[in-house]
Structure 1
Amino acid sequence: MQTRNRLTLGSLALAAIATLAACAAPTSATPTSAAPARAVAELKPTAGNLTSGSVTFEQHGDHVMVTAKISGLAPNQEHGFHVHEKGDCSSPDALSAGGHFNPLGKPHGQENGPEHHAGDMPNLKADANGVATATFHVSGMAVGSGATDIIGRGLIVHAKPDDYRSQPVGNAGARLACAVIAKG
């Protein structure tokens, strides 16, 4: 009888150890965080210009994080930077990209102000070598869904800074570079 009890207790102990080990082991059913929706744009110069660069857009809750590295800008100057309504860079001056992306019919303004186009973003500031590197958050646009989705829209770098007041486009001047924003 004692031998049988020892076997039963030993079997129970092994079963308990196996159960605990199974609980501690990771499983393929463990939920993981989904990657944020992402878009990319490769800026190409318009006719007679040298401006080019790469931009990424990532959805983070109710805002979009924008990361840009753009070269060929006027050294130590600011340049307007906007999402435009059409993903069309076919014309030499990029006018084919249309006006600012504004699906909600808002006035032009500061990108995080109460009233602004979905495509309004901060000016880019070039360093002494004509390179702008920026990371910022923008409200009012979306990556991958909804009326303010920027995928398939145009991205423009302008010759002058946006004054954030002049309607409808901020008096930012000629278009130096254009890209079509694509799902990333």
Structure 2
Amino acid sequence: MRIATLALLGAATMGLSACDKSGMDTGTPMAGGQRATAMLQTATGTDVGRATATEVAGGIRFTLDAMAMPPGTHGAHIHMVGRCDAPDFTTAGGHWNPTGMKHGSMNPQGPHEGDLPNLIIGTDGRGTLGITIPGATMAGLMDADGSAFVVHAGPDDLMTDPAGNSGGRIACGVFQAG
């Protein structure tokens, strides 16, 4: 009798979990999800990669395919303004932070939604990055002043507010819908 009761409880629990309204785990691709792309350039206008933001269940998936960049580890962030004026790209503003957190995934009071893992560029000048940010929305990313993808000169320490001591901005691209 006890085994039958446990089996019935297990079946009921599985049945209830199947009633989840979204029916998808965070990060699952969504049919018809919105998408935005940012073409990254250096201050001299050299094309160095493409960042993509894709709406997924429960958040946004950010990917980056970088090329012709200096080898090493670089901070990579989503910035809150869709402007990339050379030479220093400061017009992109600070990190995208709609929840008012501190910087960095290692910071107990963080991270910003715009904080991404470090980008590692190989000796061939290429690197890739991919991460899903739970809770991020395309409406927030593509608000009235847009947003930008920025790559920094040095590594992000993933903790120090406001930008992880990642150095100057060496590449930037504005997200465009579509």
For the superposition of Structure 1 and Structure 2, which TM-score range results when normalised by the shorter chain?
0.7 to 0.9
Deviation at 1:50, TM superposition (A): 5.2
Matches within 5 A, 1:110-121: 110=105, 115-121=110-116
- In 1, the alpha carbon distance for the partners of 2:135 and 2:156 equals 18
In the alignment, residue 96 of structure 1 is paired with which amino acid?
A: T
Once the two structures are overlaid, the 10-residue window that deviates more, 33-42 or 158-167, is 33-42
In the alignment, residue 46 of structure 1 is paired with which amino acid?
A: A
Aligned twin of 1:83: 78
Of the candidates 94, 97, 104, which is equivalent to residue 109 of structure 1?
A: 104
- In 2, the alpha carbon distance for the partners of 1:128 and 1:97 equals 28
Deviation at 1:118, TM superposition (A): 1.5
Deviation at 1:138, TM superposition (A): 2.1
Q: Are positions 1:98 and 2:89 aligned together? A: no
Of the candidates 143, 147, 150, which is equivalent to residue 141 of structure 2?
A: 150
Q: TM-score, normalised by structure 1?
A: 0.71
Q: Are positions 1:36 and 2:33 aligned together? A: yes
Q: Does the 8 Å contact 1:84/1:99 carry over to 2?
A: yes
- In 2, the alpha carbon distance for the partners of 1:133 and 1:114 equals 27
Once the two structures are overlaid, the 10-residue window that deviates more, 63-72 or 133-142, is 133-142
Of the candidates 51, 58, 81, which is equivalent to residue 55 of structure 1?
A: 51
Of the candidates 128, 135, 140, which is equivalent to residue 130 of structure 2?
A: 135
In the alignment, residue 160 of structure 2 is paired with which amino acid?
A: S
Q: TM-score, normalised by structure 2?
A: 0.74
Identity %: 35
Q: Does the 8 Å contact 1:40/1:56 carry over to 2?
A: yes
Q: Does the 8 Å contact 1:51/1:73 carry over to 2?
A: no
Deviation at 1:53, TM superposition (A): 0.6
- In 2, the alpha carbon distance for the partners of 1:50 and 1:114 equals 36
Q: Which has the larger radius of gyration?
A: 1
Give the RMSD, CA atoms, in angstroms: 2.2
3-state secondary structure, aligned to 1:96:
helix
Aligned twin of 1:122: 117
Q: Does the 8 Å contact 1:119/1:141 carry over to 2?
A: no
The runs of 4+ residues in structure 1 deviating greater than 3 Å are none
- In 2, the alpha carbon distance for the partners of 1:72 and 1:93 equals 18
3-state secondary structure, aligned to 2:91:
helix
Gaps of 5+ in 2: 1-29
- In 2, the alpha carbon distance for the partners of 1:106 and 1:139 equals 14
Gaps of 5+ in 1: 1-32
- In 2, the alpha carbon distance for the partners of 1:92 and 1:163 equals 24
- In 1, the alpha carbon distance for the partners of 2:93 and 2:56 equals 27
